[in-house]
Structure 1
Amino acid sequence: MSAFDVGLIIALVLLNVVVAVWNGSGSEGHTDCGPWAGLALQILVLLTLLVRRRRPLMVLTVALAASVTMTVSVWLAPGLLVTSVDGAGVWVPLAAPFAAYSAVVYSSRPRVAWVLTGLLTLVATRLWELSFAVAASGVLLTAVPGLLGMYVGARRGLIAALTERAERAEREQFLLAERARAEERVRLAGEMHDVVTHRVSLMVLQAGALRVSSSDEVVRAEAEVLRAAGCQALEELRDVVGVLRSPESLEALESAELVMPNAGDGVGAAGGAQAEGLRLSVLVEESRAVGVDVEFTETGDPSEWSPVVARTAYRVVQEALTNVRKHAPGSSVRVEVRHGSGEVRLRVANSAAAGSVDTELASSGSGSGLKGLGQRVELVGGTFESGPVPGGGFYVESVLPAERRTDVS
């Protein structure tokens, strides 16, 4: 029910009251009830307009029943419901045009609405009396509102269809663009896997062969360094390929043999999550070696980490410590790693910088490290936060599931 309906009903009730008072002051009307019985019937039909949008067929049925009752009353009790019984008037309630319009526009059964409108028009025009004035007035009050309602309903349907078609076309265009981007990402991932991995794997094998065949300890040590660096590069390449591909393909990447198996290798895939957990302490030691005051605490068992989650945790700590060295020289850092039930929480927070910032070092890089880090964390189903801390400094915090969630979209 809208304010328009309420205002319409009030206006029509006032109009009926004025007509009833006018007729009551004259000689027309039934000797006992005068025009008041007709006024009561008109108001009753008008009140049904309150539900004309929700129950349009009921409103039209009530209007039709009132029209039939008014017509019959002219013959059985002249002046009771219709004061003008000279045959020139239209014997329908004032709510009839609005009932016909609402039935055609809002009803879910248009055929029933048109049948009831046709019956109402037949009663209003009184074709059995063959009066042009009555027929014209009846069509104007019943059939014309129905035709207007049909036009409005058709226009609304057309607008809805065009809107739905435009939205569907926009969705299809978005899906096509997403599909094209996904195909391009997969193609790039395939190129990186086929070309770069092949060459780096050859380097790893050659370094391993040099370590075994050389009799010089210095050469053997350098070969081991090269082999370890190559294995780490392959592992990082696998992470990049996993980001480029769809989340569903990460399951296959975890089992893919991108890295050559090396027994006892602490940085290869055989090291697993425990090796990744150990490498966090290596990151801390590397920062301490260049003069950064780092406090490292780890609680819980890291053996539950999946390889992808472990590498993501490593990247979080690595990026945070790198940013500290670049943007907050002389600050103290606290690295916290807490393993809980089914999740691992990482937090790296540093105090305000105590030394002067090297602008050349601080300006190096793409400036999107934290953004990319957040995307990597979301890819495995985790949460990522970063921002300044009170009193100066910065923090990076992430909560990762122990096992990568497979429903990440």
Structure 2
Amino acid sequence: MAVGWCTAGFAALVWLVEVIAPGTLFLVHADHSLAPAVWWPPTAPLAAYAVTAFPREGGRPAWVRCLPVVALLVPIGLTDDVLPDSAMRHFVSAETDSVDAMVFRSFAVVIGAALLGMYVAARRRVVQALTERAERAERERHLLAEQARTEERTRLAAEMHDVVAHRVTLMVLQAGALRVRAPDEPTRAAAEELRGTGCQALDELRDVIGLLRRDPEAAPAAASEPLPDLSVLVAESAAVGVPVELAEHGDPPSASPAVGRTAYRVVQEALTNARKHAPGAAVRVEVRYGADGVAVTVRNAAPSGEPDAELAASGSGMGLEGLRERVELISGTFTAGPDGDGFRVEASLPAYVPVARPVP
């Protein structure tokens, strides 16, 4: 708008000066040559384009933005008041040309630039509206998918609580009764081991149900227990002939139970895969503890022999994918893939996660 009004004001000023004092700015020589040759400024079409092509968001209406263009056309239309035909014919080197023809061309250039600007502005508005509509549809689709995911998680949590947790609780109670009634010590020991395993399964099941029912926007649950001791897993692997090195950095923080159990499962699954698919390979377990979480990295070198086909084919083949889902369920990150000649599993877990305690 500033450039448009300055351009129109300059043209009007030139016209006014020539009307009041002819020959001040436009000098017609004896040979009918004209100096200077330019009547309206060369910025006129650019200014007309700019004021219509770049409207300010929520700014002036279209008719207000077109006022500088109209003001610019007025002195152009009055060109014959200050420029003689003889000088213009000499300037264009055509005897049949006239000041009126130059005025018409000037009108066409300025109005054409303004119309082009209007088209560009209208097209930009249409593209912006289509972009906003696509973004809104994408957001709505994401919200609908998130809502469906939340409803499915709630349904699964209810099914697990009502069916699985109930059955496991019965198994624990029956194992406890068997421990009391068993006539011999081996049976009592087996029953106690079964009861302990069932209690551990119930704790993990409650964590999973709480994660499924949690509100992502809720505040993280307070830390309730320290992270598990991974040296037990390392010792178990070393006992079956897998050379494992454990490197821990930092002090283990207290964390949500689900975080500790997930870190334990990541190391357990990675060591199991190394034992099955990379026999004889050295394994390094690196754990970095921080105030806001824990990072676990398990690397194994190249195997020293061929894996046992029967052992490698055992299992469901969904171990790593299950770990990924379990880690992402508590808002962590998980990566697994080749690392040189070996394999690497990495998981980054937060210290606290929002968990809704299931209804008893």
Counterparts of 1:344-359 in structure 2, within 5 Å, are 344=294, 346-359=296-309
Q: Are 1:206 and 2:213 counterparts?
A: no
Equivalent residue letter for 1:92: W
Q: Are 1:164 and 2:132 counterparts?
A: yes
- Cα deviations across residues 298-353 of structure 1 (Å, max 9, x unaligned)? 68765734322221221122112211221122344454556566655544444433
Distance 1:83 1:159, change over 3 A: farther
Deviation at 1:122, TM superposition (A): 2.8
Aligned to 1:95: 43
- Could you tell me the TM-score, scaled by structure 1's length? 0.65
Distance 1:297 1:163, change over 3 A: closer
Q: Distance in 2 between matches of 1:251 and 1:94?
A: 64
Contact conserved, 1:125 with 1:134, CA < 8 A, in 2? Answer: no
Contact conserved, 1:343 with 1:400, CA < 8 A, in 2? Answer: yes
Aligned to 1:75: 19
Which of residues 310, 313, 322 in structure 1 aligns to 2:263?
A: 313
Please, which moves more after superposition, 160-169 or 292-301? 292-301
Equivalent residue letter for 2:53: V
Equivalent residue letter for 2:237: S
Report the number of matched residues.
Answer: 327
Structure 1, unpaired ranges of 5+: 1-56, 256-268
Aligned to 1:60: 4
Distance 1:354 1:243, change over 3 A: farther
Equivalent residue letter for 2:139: R
Aligned to 1:122: 74
Deviation at 1:371, TM superposition (A): 4.3
Deviation at 1:293, TM superposition (A): 4.1
Please, which moves more after superposition, 294-303 or 151-160? 294-303
Equivalent residue letter for 1:211: R
Which of residues 200, 223, 227 in structure 2 aligns to 1:232?
A: 200
Q: Distance in 2 between matches of 1:191 and 1:339?
A: 35
Contact conserved, 1:331 with 1:351, CA < 8 A, in 2? Answer: yes
Equivalent residue letter for 2:67: V
Contact conserved, 2:222 with 2:352, CA < 8 A, in 1? Answer: no
Choose between structure 1 and 2 for higher RCO, CA contacts under 8 A separated by at least 6 residues.
Answer: 2
Distance 1:219 1:249, change over 3 A: farther
Contact conserved, 1:247 with 1:379, CA < 8 A, in 2? Answer: no
Counterparts of 1:6-405 in structure 2, within 5 Å, are 57-82=1-26, 92-108=40-56, 109=60, 110-126=62-78, 139-241=107-209, 244-245=212-213, 248=216, 272-273=225-226, 276-277=228-229, 280-294=230-244, 302=252, 304-335=254-285, 343-344=293-294, 346-377=296-327, 379-380=329-330, 384=334, 386-388=336-338, 392-398=341-347, 400-401=349-350, 403-404=351-352
- Cα deviations across residues 21-67 of structure 1 (Å, max 9, x unaligned)? xxxxxxxxxxxxxxxxxxxxxxxxxxxxxxxxxxxx22212221222
Equivalent residue letter for 1:360: E
RMSD: 4.0
Distance 1:289 1:254, change over 3 A: farther
Deviation at 1:197, TM superposition (A): 0.8
